[in-house]
Chain A
Amino acid sequence: ETGVTQTPRHLVMGMTNKKSLKCEQHLGHNAMYWYKQSAKKPLELMFVYNFKEQTENNSVPSRFSPECPNSSHLFLHLHTLQPEDSALYLCASSQPGQSSYEQYFGPGTRLTVT
């Protein structure tokens, strides 16, 4: 595997379900990100992790719970979501510092909340 991978690619869940999104990067980076991409809206940064520590939470509702067990893996745990949470969730990685802006994205997980 190369680059940034995300699983699953598609997910349909009910509002009472609990599910998790997984991201893995094979680039040796130490920073990882979750973004939300909704139709007709700019990408929204959700969380940032540097060296496994959360350094940014962009006022994300608590029904989204990130986890970063090591620099290569990032999870987004989902519970009691709302239909407006349906979106493409993108994971990205980078090196910290100036290179942090050169972010490498995974293909995303298309989430539908019913």
Chain B
Amino acid sequence: AQSVTQPDIHITVSEGASLELRCNYSYGATPYLFWYVQSPGQGLQLLLKYFSGDTLVQGIKGFEAEFKRSQSSFNLRKPSVHWSDAAEYFCAVGEVGFQKLVFGTGTRLLVSP
């Protein structure tokens, strides 16, 4: 069965600094990959997705992610973090042919002034 690992439970970044959130997946074939963000008291919002093609994908709010097949990774990056980016971030994998997303446990991002 597929699985998603987000090794960092919490990350603190200074405002204006760069950000990288790690995501590793386990899946037998090329998966569909996603990053979602959840602000306090809100549902999840899709940041970006990878289905195929260019391994560097751009998303909303200035985020990007890179699919690295050799490392089974799909890390999320942002060059300059804003205080409003403080939230919980979830990586997810979709099993091709099945209507199902498997989520990681999430990384909580704290932004310091």
Chain B residues, CB < 8 A from A34: none
Contact with A along B85-113 (1 / 0, CB 8 A): 00000100010000111111110000000
Chain B interfacial positions (CB closer than 8 Å to A):
4, 32, 34, 36, 41-46, 49, 51, 90, 94, 99-106
A42-B103, A48-B99, A55-B99 as given contacts; A105 in contact with B43, CB under 8 Å: yes
If the complex has contacts A4-B43, A43-B90, are A103 and B101 also in contact, measured as CB distance less than 8 A?
yes
Asked whether, in the complex, the Cβ of A100 is within 8 Å of the Cβ of B43, the reply is: no
Interface set, chain A 34-62, CB cutoff 8 A to B? 40-43, 45, 48, 50, 55-56
Q: How many A-B residue pairs have CB under 8 A?
A: 51
Q: Beyond A4-B43, A108-B43, is A101–B102 a contact (Cβ under 8 Å)?
A: no
Tell me the interface secondary structure of chain A in the complex. mixed
The 8 A CB mask of A71-112 against B (1 = contact, 0 = none) is 000000000000000000010100010101111111110000
Complex Cα distance, B99 from A96, in Å, reads: 8
A-B contact pairs, 17 of them (CB 8 A): A42-B103, A42-B105, A43-B90, A43-B103, A45-B100, A48-B99, A56-B100, A90-B44, A92-B44, A98-B51, A101-B34, A101-B94, A101-B101, A103-B46, A103-B101, A106-B43, A107-B43
Contacts of B103 in A (CB 8 A): 42-43
Asked whether, in the complex, the Cβ of B45 is within 8 Å of the Cβ of A105, the reply is: yes
Q: Does A31 contact B (CB under 8 A)?
A: yes
* Closest-CB distance, A109 to chain B (whole angstroms): 11
Q: How far is the CB of A46 from chain B (nearest CB, A)?
A: 11
